[in-house]
Amino acid sequence: MSCLDIAGLRVCFATPEGLVRAVDGVDLTVGDNEILGLVGETGCGKTVLGLSIMRLLPRNATMEGEIHYNGLSLFDLDEEAMRNIRGKEIAMMLQNPSTSLNPVMRIQDQVTESVLAHNKVRKREAKARSLEFLRFVGIPADRVRDYPHEFSGGMRQRAALAMAMACGPSLVIADEPTKMLDGPRKVQILALIQRMQQESKASVLFITHDLLAAFTVCHRIAVMYAGEIVELATPGELSQHPLHPYAQGLLESVPRRGLKPIAGASPSLVDLPSGCRFHPRCPVALPACHSSHPVMCEAVAGHFVRCLRHGPSGSS
Amino acid sequence: MRQLLQLLVRQPLSLVGVSILALFGLVAILAPYVAPFDPWERGTPMLPPSGSHLLGTNDIGQDLFSELLYGARTSLFIAFFASVASTAIGVSLGLLSGYYSRLGFVAMRVVDVFLLVPRFPLIILIATLLTPSVWNLILIFVIFGWPRTTRIIRSEVLSQRNREYVDGVHMLGARDPYIIRRYVFPQVLPLALVQLVLEASHVILAESGLSFLGLGDPAAKSWGAMLHYAFEYPSIFISDVWVRWMLPPGACITLAVLALVFLGHAWEEWANPRLKQWAPARM
């Protein structure tokens, strides 16, 4: 059984400008012991997807579809049951290390708090455990009584990882954990996430816009565009044979391949293009792409793509 | 604690404020021991200042200096309880109404009404309707004190509860009461302290005003009541009596309010770093 099973998830926000379709029909599974990467550009709905798993969306959001966590339907739980899932079963690492820690609490106290949140242990025991987690992420014992502002960005992000691990979750949603970090720190946090995943046997949903980071740690990668998953493959497959033009464009845009930007701007989620959502920017669009909306299909074994060139269309 | 001490050293005004308040506080507590006479006891009227009667006596022979000392007692007692109670209500309601937006909407409309109505005339009106006693006065000041604090605390809570680390602790599965207690309350505490001090200065002024109008507790000695009786004395301004009868209570009220304002100002600067005047770094 897979750890997380998302089926037909739709998340809409009612705004004065109209209905924002942030996530539109996403099917995704995160297997046990798997690091699944969710890659896409800013504003394509990655974070909203993460938040909807935690059921912590703003009040103007409406959700449709189903999310099963270890066979448990998350949308059917009451608030108290959901609260027990948060942190203990599913933990989330926030994207901005400089604002995701409480500025007036010592680092160790914050990790301890996280241990105490769902484990019935004594404070001393919790403190000892928090020290272990902090040592695991490489924060020296003489720094654990510091406040967040005394930490560097990388240390903060590692402390945030320690907090996320502290309850022993079986799914960690890491929302752009490398966003604010420089190169070496990035590598460090990626290595930590990988090690954490191997040792704790947790699954990880790794949300990022950094394709290279996703290639290094993920077992499978889903590419998201305008609220939809457009391609799903292993890192090897995706880097060698990307099928969707958007994924190809993403690959071309990384520094090593010549830093070529994708033409055009990402579409407004209020007023989505007809047919294939990528067609206005697609260099190889067919006439049919303007009107018919492609469905996800398996082009090669284990390699799914949503593109008319590789599969049939659904309804427009 | 160490921070507070540092603050006192760095801000001379707050040191002045604390000293004055400490002095008044001491006088208020020790009034029965340090006052040379029972302020209710009638002796020879209109005695001029002398060794035993430092400020002389009033028109019914009560020792003015003793009255002044006992007056500190009433003023500070009312100021303390009224400001603590109204700040406590204001902070709790501010926390809840900032955190739960629907409750906040309702609470703010009630606050609007209270803030719209001119405060002092209404206080006078209610004071005339209630039997004048110390506890009724406190009740009146609490009724009119909480709305301001509620509004100020709520606005701060609104900015605090949308911080990312609050979302973060939510994601760890924290309950609302825990978040409010551990994450929001500590952030609004400095602001609450400032409000407490400023509210106390409002109460001292309002209490003096009411007593001056004769609406205070007639059984309690207060500075405002001293002024009230002094004004009723027919020849108060054509002789020198006002120097020893009106000036001292007036000066005490002014000093007490000033002390609280100094303290509130210093605390506000400490709580809100944007108000800090930066000194150039020393090399």
Structure confidence at residue B60 (pLDDT): 82
Contact at CB, B172 and A101, closer than 8 angstroms: no
- The mean pLDDT of chain A is 88
Structure confidence at residue A243 (pLDDT): 92
Q: Band of the pLDDT at B282, cuts 50, 70, 90? A: very low
Q: B167: nearest CA in chain A?
A: A100
Question: Nearest C-alpha of chain A: how many angstroms from B163?
Answer: 7
**Strand, coil or helix: A97:** coil
Structure confidence at residue A316 (pLDDT): 42
Distance of CA A174 to the CA centre of its chain: 6
Contact at CB, A104 and B169, closer than 8 angstroms: no
Question: Nearest C-alpha of chain B: how many angstroms from A183?
Answer: 24
- pLDDT of B275 > 50? The answer is yes
Asked if residue A125 lies in contact with residue A132, where contact means CB atoms within 8 angstroms, the answer is no
**Residue B182: which residues within 8 A CB-CB, separation 6 or more?**
A113, B169
| CATH number of domain containing A282 | 3.40.50.300
- For B145, the token pair is 């004190």
Contact at CB, B172 and A56, closer than 8 angstroms: no
- From chain A, pick out residues whose CB is under 8 angstroms from the CB of B187: 104
Separation of alpha carbons B185 and B273, rounded Å: 18
Separation of alpha carbons B102 and B123, rounded Å: 30
- From chain A, pick out residues whose CB is under 8 angstroms from the CB of B186: 104
Percent of chain B with pLDDT over 70: 93
Domain boundaries, chain B: 7-30+54-275
Structure confidence at residue B280 (pLDDT): 47
- pLDDT of B279 > 50? The answer is no
Separation of alpha carbons B201 and B205, rounded Å: 6
Q: B165: nearest CA in chain A?
A: A100
- Could you report the per-residue pLDDT of A135-178, keeping only the tens digit for each? 988 899 899 999 998 998 888 888 988 988 888 899 999 988 88
Question: Nearest C-alpha of chain A: how many angstroms from B168?
Answer: 6
Asked if residue A13 lies in contact with residue A22, where contact means CB atoms within 8 angstroms, the answer is yes
- Could you report the per-residue pLDDT of B213-245, keeping only the tens digit for each? 888 888 888 899 889 988 888 777 777 878 888
For residue B127, give the amino acid letter.
A
Contact at CB, B173 and A104, closer than 8 angstroms: no
- Could you report the per-residue pLDDT of A93-115, keeping only the tens digit for each? 887 777 888 888 899 999 998 88
Within-domain flag for A125: no
**Residue B78: which residues within 8 A CB-CB, separation 6 or more?**
B134, B137, B138, B141, B203, B204, B207
Pairing of strands A220-225, A297-300: unpaired
Domain count within chain A: 1
Contact at CB, B169 and A85, closer than 8 angstroms: no
- The mean pLDDT of chain B is 86
Structure confidence at residue B91 (pLDDT): 96
Structure confidence at residue B157 (pLDDT): 93
Which residue numbers of A have CB closer than 8 Å to B's CBs?
Answer: 54, 56, 83-88, 91-92, 94, 96, 99-104, 113-114, 117-118, 160, 163, 167
Residue range(s) defining the domain that contains residue A237: 4-98+170-305
Contact at CB, B172 and A100, closer than 8 angstroms: no
Question: Nearest C-alpha of chain B: how many angstroms from A118?
Answer: 8
For residue B128, give the amino acid letter.
T
- For A158, the token pair is 């590692």
- Could you report the per-residue pLDDT of B161-173, keeping only the tens digit for each? 888 888 888 888 8
- Could you report the per-residue pLDDT of A63-78, keeping only the tens digit for each? 999 999 998 999 999 9
- pLDDT of B274 > 70? The answer is no
Q: Which residue has the higher pLDDT, B279 or B191?
A: B191
Asked if residue A275 lies in contact with residue A293, where contact means CB atoms within 8 angstroms, the answer is yes
- Could you report the per-residue pLDDT of A176-203, keeping only the tens digit for each? 888 778 888 888 889 999 998 998 889 9
Please tell me which of the candidates A85, A94, A167 has its beta carbon nearest to residue B168.
A94
- For A39, the token pair is 């890659």
Within-domain flag for A314: no
- Chain A interface mutation, best of B100, B105, B170, B171, highest count of A Cβ atoms under 10 Å: B171
Structure confidence at residue B283 (pLDDT): 42
Separation of alpha carbons B191 and B197, rounded Å: 10
Contact at CB, A96 and B174, closer than 8 angstroms: no
**Residue B211: which residues within 8 A CB-CB, separation 6 or more?**
B217, B222, B223, B224, B225, B227, B228
- Could you report the per-residue pLDDT of A257-299, keeping only the tens digit for each? 777 788 777 788 888 888 889 988 888 888 888 888 888 888 8
Percent of chain A with pLDDT over 90: 35
- pLDDT of B62 > 90? The answer is no
Contact at CB, B169 and A102, closer than 8 angstroms: yes
What is the CB-side half-sphere exposure of residue A279 using CA atoms within 13 A?
20
> Does domain B7-30+54-275 sit in CATH 3.40.50.2300?
no
**Measured torsion, CA atoms of residues A148, A149, A154, A157, in degrees rounded to the nearest 10:** 30
Contact at CB, B165 and A84, closer than 8 angstroms: no
